[in-house]
Structure 1
Amino acid sequence: MELTVVALLIMVIATMWSAIERKVDKLNRRTAQLTRKVDLILEHLGIEEPQPDLAPVRALVVEGKKIHAVKAYREITGADLKEAKEAVDRMG
């Protein structure tokens, strides 16, 4: 009896996981399409995305304040934690 319940739960979870993966894949494809379209519009209009001023981040790296530098990088760029840490590591 318990084994049947566990097997049923595993099947339900696997089905739900598969549905979630399909939805995430669809959202990722749609995001990529929209990003390409926005890039084309900006290019057509001759608009370049301004590069963020990372001088405050570099200053924190020089001072050895790596955690503060990661936080500042995230605030300036909107990057996630992993991306910010990797960028700060490349600076130091």
Structure 2
Amino acid sequence: MEWISLLVLLAVLVQLMVSGSGRRAAADRQARQLAAVERKLNLIMDHLGIREPEPGAPARVLEELMAGRKLQAIKVYRDATQVGLKDAKDAVELLARRYGLE
């Protein structure tokens, strides 16, 4: 009787190990697929000259810069970040240079 319970326990442990490694393999496969998609997207963006917005810069600041409204972009930046006029001006000018919007 002890052998039967040991065999059942062993079978359960083997099943748990197999199912755990299957999930891990699926997660690894998904991570590789995601990395491949990100690489392709980066190539497409580079080809089209599209740049990702700066994490610290509100999207509206870039919109104002692209529309040629630098003063409005500075105001939006100040409102969003609560920085002074000089810091906002410097940050907006840096963004304009980075994105070729001068």
Tell me, in whole angstroms, the C-alpha distance in 2 between the residues paired with 1:53 and 1:18. 40
Unaligned ranges ≥5, structure 1 = 57-92
Which residue does the alignment assign to 2:68? none
Query: Alignment partner of 1:12: what SS?
Result: helix
Deviations 1:62-91 (A, max 9, x none): xxxxxxxxxxxxxxxxxxxxxxxxxxxxxx
Match of 2:36 among 27, 30, 33: 33
Which residue does the alignment assign to 2:25? 22
Query: Alignment partner of 1:21: what SS?
Result: helix
Dislocated runs of 4+, deviation >3 Å: none
Which residue does the alignment assign to 2:10? 7
TM-score of the pair, normalised by structure 2: 0.49
The structure with more radius of gyration: 2
How big is the alpha-carbon RMSD for the aligned residues of Structure 1 and Structure 2? 1.8
Deviation at 1:53, TM superposition (A): 2.1
Which residue does the alignment assign to 2:88? none
Listed as ranges, the matches of 1:1-92 within 5 Å are 1-53=4-56
Deviation at 1:20, TM superposition (A): 1.1
The aligned length equals: 56
Deviation at 1:18, TM superposition (A): 1.5
Tell me, in whole angstroms, the C-alpha distance in 1 between the residues paired with 2:27 and 2:41. 21
Identical-pair percentage: 32
